[in-house]
């Protein structure tokens, strides 16, 4: 709200000036001035309103387009762009980041970050060095603080994004994700942190519930204004894919290399999903009751619909991802079960954030992430309720 503050100041000094001048003019002049003053105030208010809107959605909203009800039978987005615009070179995700240096002034005196980060280039090379170790990843990211949190050291940012990664033992994928995602987010000049939600106990993977846990735990720590739920095996390929929230929940991973850079099917909502906390509460989070690798896309789509929200998706050129090899929890296709929507309709208000039960076994602050280890298994029937 810094900017609005400065508007009011400018506005006030303008008023003072106008008042001083009013005293010297005649009656007719006075009326003319009043009219002018009225117009100036209107313009300022309108400007402030537009600016605020703009800074909330920043420039992604130009590239996001809304989807509502897509006509049946259209399995893909209306266009498919595979090539990058000419003239833009693929950059190493770490290039230029060494230019970022802490400034020798107090936090309050930092200048605002520019609306568009100067480090944003476009397409990125996805290259993981051979025999990479976690120590090397830490070394490459000297400005990341414990717990995997980062703020631009040289400017004041208005974007605060938590990245929640459901995790089920894919250690190498996680290392590669950290290697790539940290510099990716630093290029965008965000304040961010990475939370890994580690499911233990030998039950089936439950991505929805792990997402809920991650959201809950992340919000205890900071007043995040945007939460990105991120599969561990997806690396973004274009830094114009901004990790900030839009006015609607967003399905972000729309173009994955494994699916030839298009949606595998119409209702696909897996991979990377982002929304504001207020929207998360409105849909009552994600379902807790989907166990196994089965996807809960239909459920999430129904939640958005039943809570009256649209879904936003980035441009196919920007929402590009490389999928890492390994366990692939999220990308099985399953046809919609008949009657499912009706069941969701009855259930979604009772299955989600408000029915979330888990035990936090540990919270470890690692150099590049916060490790939340949770037992999310439903209590065995008849077992005494603990924790």
Positions that interact with ligand NAG (CB under 6 A): 95-96, 99, 118, 130-131, 174, 196, 198, 200-201, 361-362, 364, 371, 373, 375, 377
CB-nearer residue toward ligand NAG: 289 or 371: 371
Give the shortest CB-235-to-ligand NAG separation in angstroms: 17
Burial 305-337, CB ≥16 within 10 A → b, else e: beeebebbbbbbbbbbbbbbeeeebbbeeeeee
| Ramachandran category for residue 44: left, alpha or beta (phi over 0 → left; psi -120 to 50 → alpha) | alpha
Give the shortest CB-263-to-ligand NAG separation in angstroms: 30
Cα 191 from chain centroid (whole Å): 11
CB-nearer residue toward ligand NAG: 1 or 380: 380
Residue 369: closest CA among 217, 157, 189: 217
Give the shortest CB-93-to-ligand NAG separation in angstroms: 12
Give the shortest CB-372-to-ligand NAG separation in angstroms: 8
How many C-beta neighbours within 10 Å does residue 10 have? 11
CB-nearer residue toward ligand NAG: 37 or 103: 103
Give the shortest CB-383-to-ligand NAG separation in angstroms: 8
CB-nearer residue toward ligand NAG: 43 or 365: 365
Residue 218: closest CA among 245, 196, 250: 196
CB-nearer residue toward ligand NAG: 129 or 292: 129
Beta strand 272-275 pairing with 250-251: antiparallel
Give the shortest CB-118-to-ligand NAG separation in angstroms: 5
Helix (H, G, I), strand (E, B) or coil at 142: coil
CB-nearer residue toward ligand NAG: 63 or 369: 369
Cβ neighbors of 337 (< 8 A, separation 6 or more) are: 298
Residue 82: closest CA among 323, 317, 322, 321: 317
Give the shortest CB-271-to-ligand NAG separation in angstroms: 20
HSE, side-chain direction, 13 A CA sphere, residue 313: 24
CB-nearer residue toward ligand NAG: 52 or 201: 201
Rounded CA separation 25/74 (Å): 68
CB-nearer residue toward ligand NAG: 194 or 304: 194
CB-nearer residue toward ligand NAG: 95 or 307: 95
Give the shortest CB-240-to-ligand NAG separation in angstroms: 14
What backbone phi and psi angles, to 5 degrees, belong to 261? Answer: 55, 40
What backbone phi and psi angles, to 5 degrees, belong to 252? Answer: -100, -35
Give the shortest CB-171-to-ligand NAG separation in angstroms: 6
Burial 200-237, CB ≥16 within 10 A → b, else e: eeeeebbbbbbbbbbbbbbeeeeebbbbbbbbbbbbbb
């Amino acid at each position: 709200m810094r900017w609005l503050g400065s508007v009011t100041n400018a506005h006030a000094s303008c008023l003072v000036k106008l008042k001083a001048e009013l005293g010297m003019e005649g009656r007719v002049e006075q009326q003319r001035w009043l009219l002018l003053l009225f117009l100036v105030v209107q313009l300022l208010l309108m400007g402030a309103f537009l600016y605020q809107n703009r800074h909330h959605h920043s420039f992604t909203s130009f590239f996001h387009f809304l989807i509502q009800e897509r006509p049946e039978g259209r399995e893909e987005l209306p266009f498919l762009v595979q090539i990058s615009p000419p003239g833009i070179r693929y950059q190493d995700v770490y290039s230029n980041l060494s230019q970022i240096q802490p400034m020798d002034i107090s936090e309050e005196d930092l200048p605002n970050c520019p609306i568009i980060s100067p480090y944003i280039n476009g397409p990125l090379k996805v290259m993981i060095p051979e025999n990479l170790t976690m120590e090397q990843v830490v070394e490459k990211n000297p400005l990341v603080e414990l717990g995997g949190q980062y703020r631009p050291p040289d400017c004041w940012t208005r974007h605060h994004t938590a990245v929640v990664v459901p995790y089920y033992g894919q250690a190498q994928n996680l290392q590669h994700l950290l290697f790539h995602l940290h510099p990716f987010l630093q290029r965008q000049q965000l304040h961010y942190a990475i939370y890994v939600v580690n499911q233990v106990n030998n039950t089936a993977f439950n991505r929805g519930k792990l997402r809920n846990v991650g959201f809950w735990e992340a919000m205890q720590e900071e007043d995040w204004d945007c939460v990105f739920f991120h599969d561990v095996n997806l690396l973004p390929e274009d830094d114009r894919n901004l990790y900030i929230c839009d006015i609607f929940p967003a399905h972000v991973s729309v173009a994955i290399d494994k699916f030839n850079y298009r949606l595998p099917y119409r209702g696909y909502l897996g991979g990377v999903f982002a929304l504001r906390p207020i929207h998360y509460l409105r849909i009552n989070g994600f379902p807790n009751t989907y166990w196994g690798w089965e996807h809960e896309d239909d459920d999430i789509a129904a939640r958005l619909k039943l809570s009256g929200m649209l879904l936003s998706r980035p441009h196919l050129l920007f929402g590009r991802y490389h999928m890492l090899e390994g366990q692939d929890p999220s990308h099985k296709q399953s046809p919609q079960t008949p009657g499912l929507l009706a069941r969701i309709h009855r259930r979604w208000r009772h299955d989600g954030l408000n029915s979330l039960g888990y035990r936090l076994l540990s919270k470890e602050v690692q150099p590049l992430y916060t490790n939340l280890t949770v037992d999310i298994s439903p209590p065995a029937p008849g077992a005494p309720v603990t924790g």
